[in-house]
Chains A and B, each alone.
Chain A
Amino acid sequence: QKEVEQNSGPLSVPEGAIASLNCTYSDRGSQSFFWYRQYSGKSPELIMFIYSNGDKEDGRFTAQLNKASQYVSLLIRDSQPSDSATYLCAVNFDGANNLFFGTGTRLTVIP
């Protein structure tokens, strides 16, 4: 059973704080991991992807991957009201030709 689990939230953080979003997945052999952002009424857009254990940083965003614990997270530093959205974790399970998505975590950044 291929599963991607996220806390649905809502997660509220004050402006300027660090937002931490978490995701667990069911298959230890999973290859690649993605974080998408989806504004209300819009389509998902890719923020970051990560393939290797450890941290990957891109501007205010850091993705963290721990394959042994089957855990991937997204940190957003200096959170802005414009970061308020639903964040979707997606996993390419080994051998699959598609992505499996979590249900998403709704983030609200309070000015």
Chain B
Amino acid sequence: DAGITQSPRHKVTETGTPVTLRCHQTENHRYMYWYRQDPGHGLRLIHYSYGVKDTDKGEVSDGYSVSRSKTEDFLLTLESATSSQTSVYFCAISEWMTGANTGELFFGEGSRLTVL
């Protein structure tokens, strides 16, 4: 199994509070991703990173920020959590993601966030 650890695995918080989810990898992969998964929507990309301090937005980035200060860590922050951000959040990593031979994604175990 790919070495990906997400923390916390479960969190309940209140509307308006800040939340940070952490993804840690031991594979030294270049690309790291944050997806959210909701019923009826599938997996949707929030943000991704293609190197230290190199990040880009995904399709549902509003209300989220990310940081990657080290190859192995990718943080997802909700500055002021809302009930619509209640979801399961998955971190994923990939060795490469360009060209015809695109690499696969390896997923962490997920973090279930409930915003009351």
Query: Distance in Å from the Cβ of B9 to the closest Cβ of chain A?
Result: 11
CB–CB B42/A97 < 8 A: no
Cα A44 to Cα B33 with chains together (Å): 14
Residue B115 lies at the interface, judged by CB distance under 8 Å to chain A = no
Please report the C-alpha to C-alpha distance between residue A1 and residue B12 in the assembled complex, in whole angstroms.
Answer: 34
How would residues 39 to 64 of chain B score, 1 for a CB under 8 Å from any chain A CB and 0 otherwise?
Answer: 01111110010100000101000000
- Decide if B74 is an interface residue (CB 8 Å cutoff): no
A49 close to chain B: CB less than 8 A: yes
Given A32-B102, A98-B48, answer yes or no on A92-B97 (Cβ-Cβ < 8 Å): yes
- Considering only CB atoms and an 8 Å cut-off, how many residues of chain A contact the other chain? 23
| A-B CB pair tally, cutoff 8 Å | 58
B interface size (C-beta, 8 A): 27
Within 8 A of B (CB), among A65-105: 88, 90, 92, 96-104
Cβ contact within 8 Å between A97 and B107: no
A97-B56 CB under 8 A given contacts A92-B97, A104-B42: yes
Chain A residue numbers with a CB within 8 Å of B43 are 44, 88, 90, 101
Residues 1-57 of A contacting B (Cβ, < 8 Å)? 8, 31-32, 34, 42-46, 49, 51
**Chain B residues whose C-beta falls within 8 Å of the C-beta of A31 in the assembled complex:** 99-100, 102
On A, residues with C-beta under 8 Å from B are: 8, 31-32, 34, 42-46, 49, 51, 88, 90, 92, 96-104
Given A31-B102, A97-B97, A101-B44, 19 further pairs, Cβ under 8 A: A8-B40, A32-B100, A34-B105, A44-B107, A49-B104, A51-B101, A88-B43, A97-B31, A97-B48, A97-B56, A97-B98, A98-B58, A99-B45, A99-B105, A101-B42, A101-B43, A103-B40, A103-B41, A104-B42
Interface residues of B (CB under 8 A from A): 31, 33, 35, 40-45, 48, 50, 56, 58, 90, 97-102, 104-110
Q: What are 11 residue pairs bridging A and B, where the CB atoms are less than 8 Å apart in the complex? A: A43-B107, A88-B42, A90-B105, A92-B97, A92-B102, A97-B98, A98-B31, A98-B58, A101-B42, A101-B44, A102-B42
